[in-house]
Amino acid sequence: MQSWPSAGAEAASAAARTVVAGLAASQLLARRRHGAAAGLTAVLAIGLLSDGWSTIPAAPAPTAFPDEAALRGQTVLRLPVGNLQDFGPQYRAVVGGWRSVNGYSGYEPRYYEAIRQGARFEVDGLFEPFRARGDLLVVVDTDQSRLMSLVERQPGAVCTADAKGTRQYRLPRQPMSAPADRNAASLRIATATASCPSAEAAVDGNPDTRWVCGPQSGTEWFVADLGEPADAVFAVRYTMGESYREFPRALVVETSLDGKTWEPAWTGDLIAATIEGSLADPLTAPATLSFSPRRARFVRLQQTGKDEVWWALPELAILSGR
């Protein structure tokens, strides 16, 4: 894999040399007589030709997966995931005719950071949104024992092939809990307070503004006050948009009627919710966390994970079933 970027760097270097030579030649020719200019032009032409005779060694094609016939037409995730490791899976998908979860081309989809973090922290929710849409085929290097364990503990996981240091699995389709109704009423948030300044930026109705706090140390919090108790509060939804990399790594959601006594509502990692929201709405990348309906005035979000990335909230909504 390392030969791919090195070949590209060599090509870029050759192009840069040609440009620099051309600029230098233009300056020299402007200062010389006609006869000298002709000789200089000939020397430069020979140099340019010799540079063109150099060759850039072709990188070997990425190794084929164990049973590519079984992957055709399927959705395939290659682990490890991210950055230069994605060139191979993209190439194999184009050649073999399947949909690759890995990769990007000039940009990355907004679910991709959650995939990277899901693999990094070995989170089961990494697979859920894809399995909700059909079978998921997963290919893992056999020297990645922890990632193989992550795949093998998934319900229904079956190893279908094993060859040349790579193991192939099938995770059968599995329904995912339906997210909250997108048409549910969004309650007006009267005020907001938080562990970092400018909490109002997350509740101003403008997704281009945002509240940020971090790096994520496990102590950050955000409280939304509805101003008065509301019935059937059953979900929080926050849109990430351009801040998709800065989702909370783990979250506890609680509700309260008086701001003093708190009732647990939701707890866990945000990997599945973040991927699902970004697949369903790639532009706004919303994450929806549903819980049992209850009467509440205050909703508190406590970030309990740890990461060097900051926590961002571009826009927060509290949903009610009424």
Question: Mean pLDDT per segment of 10 residues, for the chain of length 322 residues?
Answer: 44 61 64 62 70 72 92 96 85 94 82 95 96 97 97 98 96 84 84 98 96 97 98 96 96 98 97 96 95 97 96 97 74
Structure-block tokens of residue 290: 């549903």
Extended beta strands in 80-187, E state: 99-100, 136-141, 158-163, 166-171, 185-187
pLDDT for 3: 40
Structure-block tokens of residue 200: 């109002």
DSSP-assigned letter for residue 2: T
End-to-end Cα distance, the chain: 54
What's the pTM? 0.81
Condensed to tens digits (0 to 9), the pLDDT of residues 30-78 reads: 665 555 666 666 776 776 677 667 777 777 778 899 999 999 999 999 9
In the block, residue with structure tokens 């994520």? 216
Alpha carbon separation from 311 to 48, 213, 250, 300 (Å, rounded): 52, 5, 10, 15
Tell me which residue of 171, 91, 88 sits closest to 128, measured CA to CA.
171
CB-CB contact of 292 with 234 (8 Å): yes
Q: What is the CATH number of domain 185-320?
A: 2.60.120.260
3-class DSSP assignment, residue 235? strand
pLDDT for 179: 66
Give the list of residues 6+ apart from residue 172 with CB closer than 8 angstroms, or none. 131, 135, 156, 158
CB-CB contact of 246 with 309 (8 Å): yes
The ranges assigned to domains in the chain are: 3-53, 68-171, 185-320
pLDDT for 37: 62
Structure-block tokens of residue 278: 């970004």
As a whole number of Å, the CA-based R_g of the chain is 27
pLDDT for 211: 98
In the block, residue with structure tokens 């990335």? 309
CA–CA separation, 79 and 91 (whole Å): 15
CB-CB contact of 249 with 306 (8 Å): yes
